[in-house]
Structure 1
Amino acid sequence: MKKAKISITTTSFGKYDDRSLAPLHAHFEIVLNPYGRKLKKEEIVQLCRGSIGIIAGTEPLSADVLEGLPGLRVISRCGTGLDNVDMLAARRLGIEVFNTPDAPTRAVAELTVGLILNLMRKINEMDSAIRAGRWEKLMGNLLAGKNIGIIGFGRIGRASASLLQSLGCVIAFTDPIVQDEPPQIRRLPLNELLGFADIVIIHVSSKDLIVGSGEIARMKKGGWLINVSRGGTVDEDALFDGLKSGHLSGAAIDVFRSEPYEGNLRELKNIILTPHVGSYAVESRVEMERLSTENLLRGLGSA
C-alpha cells in the first residue's frame, strides 16, 4: 500500500539530528526541500502537491498556494511566526495549523544579547580592520547600567529581559496586550520608552511598521536599535539616515522587509546584519523539529 506524502519545506530539517525524521518515515513518504533555500510560490505547489501534511518554514503559504494543494490537512510550522500562512484561507479549506512558539525563545534571546555586546564593544569593526591589515583599538561601552526598552513583551521579550537584568541593565517595556509587570521592570508608552532607553529592542510578532523616522528621532542620541523580530517593523531607509547622521551609535538587524537583503544598510560600518538566524542554535533547531513532527502527527491523528 502506497504511503501518504509529507513535504518538509525548511532548508535544514534533520541536518543536525535526524531523530525527528524516523517517526515520519515510519508512516509517510517524505519529500525534502531540494533547493537549500526559501521556496518560491510555484516551487511550494510543485513540491507539496499531493501532500496531506507540510512541515513548513517561512515560505509564503498564501491563499493561492493553499488552494493549489488539494488534500492538504495539516501545516506544522517549524518556528514561531505564522505571518507567512494565510490563516483565513487555511480555516476555509479545513487545514489545521500548528507552530512551535517555545522552542526558539532562548536562542533568539541569546542572539539579542550577543548582538548588543558585539555592537557596544565594536567587535565586528575591529575584526574587519585586522583582516584588512589595520591595528585599530576602538573604544566601546559597557552594557551594565544601560536602560533597555523592549517593544513586545511575550516569551522572547521576557527571556531577553531576564538575561539583560542579570548583566545589570534597567528594563522597561511596551506591549498593548501584556497586563502584568514583572519585578523591577516598568511598563511605558512607546514614546516614553524611546526617550528612556539607551538600547531599544524589538520583539514583536507582526510585520506592522513600528519604528520610522519619527521614532528614531525620539530615541536618545547615541542610542542603539536591535531588531530580531519581523522584517517591516523598522523603516530601513529611516534607520540608514539615523545611523549615517550619527544620531544612533549602532544597530543590529536580523530580519528585513525583503530577504535576502540587498539594501543600503550594507554600506555602513556601525550596523550588524545577520540573515534571519534568530532560532539558528543547534539545540533550538532540534527541539523545533521534534515539536513540529509531534504537531504534524497529532494533527493527522497518527500520534
Structure 2
Amino acid sequence: MNTFVISTSSFDTGNNAAVQRLISAGLQPVMNPYGRRLTEDEAAALLKNDVVGMIAGVEPLTARVIQSAKNLKVISRCGTGMDNVDLAAAKSQGITVLNTPEAPAQAVAELTLGFMLAALRRICATDREVRAGDWPRTQGGLLAAQTIGLIGLGHIGRRVARLCQAFEATVITHDPYVKQVQPGVANVSMAQLLESADVISLHTPYSPDLHHLIDAQALARMKPGAIVINTARGGLIDEDALKDALDGGRLSAAALDAFEQEPYQGPLRQYGNLILSSHVGSLAREARQRMELEAAENLLNGLINTGFIHDA
C-alpha cells in the first residue's frame, strides 16, 4: 500500500480535510513514532519504498535521505524554512518541494515582539528575582525609544516591522533582495544596521553563505548595550561569539528561539540576561492549525499535479 509520512512531532490528522482526502485516495498515513525531531537515519528509515509523499518538519532531508526514498514524489514542509531539505537532490530526483511561508509568519513575529519587550523591560530576570524573595526596582527601556534593525524583510520581517511601528519605534532593515520597503522603513547597508540599531532581530533563511552571519566582528560593530534576537534559524549566530559578547558586557541582552544544535544543552543556559525558548516561534494554536492545513493541501495538490492522485 502506498503511504505518506507525517514527520512533525505532532499533527492533527482528524480535523484536516486534505489528510482525509489523501486517505480516501488510498494512501495510508505514517506518523513520527518518536515524538521529536527525526535524525537523518530515522528519516531515511521512515521514507520506505512505498512512501509517495511527506509532510516534513525540520529533520535533515539530506541527499542520502532523499536518494533512498525511491518513490517519493512530493515533500511538503510544515513551515517556512527550506534549509533542512537538499533542494538540489530533490530536483534531481524529480521531487516537488513546497512550504507554508505565510502560515507561521504572524506567530513568529509576535514571539519576536515578545522577546523585544521582555528584554527591554527585563521581565524574565525580574520574575526570577521576585520568586526568590527580592523586590527589584529595575529600570528598563521603552520600545518606542529604540531603533529596531531587522535583517531580512520577508513574510515575518514585514510583520515585525509593522508591530514595532505600532509601538512608535524607528525601524531599519537590511535585505538586498527587497526592492521596495513599506512606508517608514529604511533599507540600509549591513554595516549601517549593525552600528545604528539598538535591537537587532534576524529574519532571514539559513544558508551556508549566511553561516555565522552574526559573528565576533558583527557583534563588535554593534552599539554598546545592544540586544540581539534570533527567531529564525540556528547557525545564523556564532554562539561562542555571542557568549563572549555577553561576558564582556557588549550586549545588554539577547533572545534565542533557534540554535545550531537542538535540543540546546550549551553554556548559554547560564546567562540571566539571555532569554531562551525551544524553537516555538510557530507554535501558536491558530498558526499551527493553518500550517498543518496548508501543508496537507500542498501535499494533496502536489500529488494531483504529478498525476499520482486524480482530482475529483
TM-score bin (small chain): over 0.9
Quote how far apart the aligned CAs of 1:155 are: 1.3
The match for 1:41 is 40
Counterparts of 2:110 and 2:201, CA distance in 1: 13
Distance of aligned partners of 1:22 and 1:263 in 2 relative to their CA distance in 1, 3 Å threshold: same
Task: Verify the 8 A CA contact 2:13 2:19 in the aligned structure 1.
Answer: no
Task: Verify the 8 A CA contact 2:59 2:84 in the aligned structure 1.
Answer: yes
Quote how far apart the aligned CAs of 1:297 are: 0.7
SS of the residue corresponding to residue 194 of structure 2 reads helix
The match for 2:71 is 71
SS of the residue corresponding to residue 300 of structure 1 reads helix
Counterpart mapping for 1:1-303 below 5 A = 2=1, 4-14=2-12, 17-18=15-16, 21-27=19-25, 28-49=27-48, 50-207=50-207, 208=210, 209-301=212-304, 302=309, 303=311
Distance of aligned partners of 1:175 and 1:162 in 2 relative to their CA distance in 1, 3 Å threshold: same
1:153-203: CA deviation from partner (whole Å, max 9, x where unpaired): 111111100000000100111111111132111111111111111101110
SS of the residue corresponding to residue 38 of structure 1 reads coil
Counterparts of 1:224 and 1:139, CA distance in 2: 16
TM-score by length of 2: 0.93
CA RMSD of aligned residues (A): 1.5
Q: Which sections of structure 2, spanning at least 5 residues, go unmatched? A: none
Identity %: 44
Letter in 2 for 1:146: Q
Task: Verify the 8 A CA contact 1:244 1:268 in the aligned structure 2.
Answer: no
Counterparts of 1:246 and 1:88, CA distance in 2: 42
Quote how far apart the aligned CAs of 1:145 are: 2.2
Counterparts of 1:11 and 1:259, CA distance in 2: 14
Q: Which sections of structure 1, spanning at least 5 residues, go unmatched? A: none
Quote how far apart the aligned CAs of 1:133 are: 3.1
Task: Verify the 8 A CA contact 2:213 2:236 in the aligned structure 1.
Answer: yes
SS of the residue corresponding to residue 143 of structure 2 reads coil
Letter in 2 for 1:281: A
SS of the residue corresponding to residue 76 of structure 1 reads strand
